[in-house]
Chain A
């Protein structure tokens, strides 16, 4: 194909992604209900939520696959609804449950996306070669898509999304169902591209650890509404009641119940090898636990305080339908 290289200018002043009052209805069902958020340049933004919470619907609106019922979307400085093609020239997308073209080779799949993004021949050849190398697909460049395992296909889809050097990368469950090695490689490459090239990443995932490891900020969506947006660290701190102390007694001894009772605002859970006491003041609980163990003649083998995991924050918010108070979010 002849190279026509009209490069739309990127508006550096605007956030990479901005959604205002974004709403999507399917008949009477409100799948996404007036959500607002902005994702800055070079940010990895996690979008978490239980099944049916509205994650994929949100991504499909942000990538222009479906229009919102109401609201506005700005991507890479472009109004997505009035300039969809110009905006999408700055995007790389790996949709949920997407696939590669089974009858094209690995290289042809990548080159096709590069051509659809209007890359000149030299640049698409360079980019394709570099990405296939990075994702460990160079030796399989001549293989058909149908010959690849699920993990390799997912790597190829990332190559296809990245070949146009996008400013914004949308990843919908990119490591779902993959083996450890592929998941790890994908996470490493995403982190490296964000670090070295400043690419903005919008990541939806069920894997809370993945979000915790990769994301600068996360949003938790529940029943179509944003329940919380903040850094993983700040979100953990918002759920004070899920701070805890974990204790294990020597020889697996079982202490009397009153020794582990710290009042109505705490909760004690028995683990396979020990106990975890949840409470807002884990330092105080740990100190008191040590005193009680001494007085009851128990020897402590391990004792440490824990901040809540992002998974616990997620479960706390989504299971109770709780919305973190406005002062505790950082939207």
Chain B
């Protein structure tokens, strides 16, 4: 038996493999014109919809729309990557490459995170240029966007675990999970103003913590302490990734 390689070497090697997988995903799945268009049009649509139906000041909707756009874009493509690979019959070769399952899933998360974080600049820019909204705490806004993007992207990767090579089926499941998350996360109404049942459900959604940080970034009152927001987003990311690893492994072990 050859000698075991040091843990650090394996970690570095697999980290590099994760970057390769992320690059592959960006090139193949994220830089498609329809995906880019979706990422640009969606926040614009949010602004138009909110502007038409929102009674309060326009700048009050900027944090919510930014958070919602981040959530949708970061978790939009992740659920589809594995079903697309299965459908295109490229999955088995990827999995039999030296990249471990952890590296493949981490690469998927990185690509989604990058896509979500970069495209969240658009609603931010619209909000800052077209309304009176102003950034008060850039670090908290940045933490909210980055950690939120990682957690939402990890959720997307978890949703890609079902043994399906039909992306439309996974898309349905994805929306079934993602849409209810928005309504309990304080993106439409600040958490403090939600009814009791909403305040009970809000902690179950990673979007609540990201939106809380983004709101604080725009100078609004925080609902959770900073450390709770950070710990919750990290915790959700770990839980989503661990579950994704478990479910992807189970699907593969059954040769589905």
Contact = CB atoms under 8 A, between A and B. Distances in A.
Say if A and B assemble together. yes
B255 A116 contact: no
B194 to A, nearest CB: 43
Contact of A85 (B14, B23, B89, B90): B14
Interface residues of B, number: 36
Given A116-B17, A160-B93, A101 B28 contact: yes
Chain A interface, DSSP helix/strand/loop, else mixed = loop
Q: Which of B5, B14, B94, B96 has the most CB of A within 10 A?
A: B96
B27 interface: yes
B90 A101 contact: yes
B1 A79 contact: yes
Nearest to B101: A84
B253 A67 contact: yes
Given A101-B88, A108-B27, A84 B255 contact: no
A79 B1 CA distance: 7
B95 interface: yes
Given A85-B14, A100-B90, A112-B20, A117 B28 contact: no
A134 B163 CA distance: 38
Contacts of A36: none
A162 interface: no
A112 B23 CA distance: 9
B8 to A, nearest CB: 10
B19 interface: yes
Contacts of B253: 66-67
A93 B94 CA distance: 10
Contact of A65 (B24, B27, B98, B252): B252
A169 B3 CA distance: 23
Nearest to B29: A103
Given A1-B19, A85-B14, A108-B27, A6 B2 contact: no
Interface of B: 1-5, 9-10, 12-14, 16-17, 19-21, 23-24, 27-28, 32, 88-90, 92-100, 252-255
20 contacts: A6-B9, A6-B12, A6-B13, A9-B3, A64-B96, A65-B95, A65-B96, A83-B2, A85-B98, A85-B99, A85-B100, A93-B92, A93-B96, A95-B92, A95-B93, A99-B90, A101-B88, A104-B27, A116-B99, A118-B17
Given A85-B13, A104-B28, A108-B27, 14 more contacts: A78-B1, A78-B2, A83-B2, A85-B10, A85-B99, A86-B2, A93-B92, A99-B88, A99-B90, A100-B90, A102-B88, A116-B20, A116-B99, A118-B16
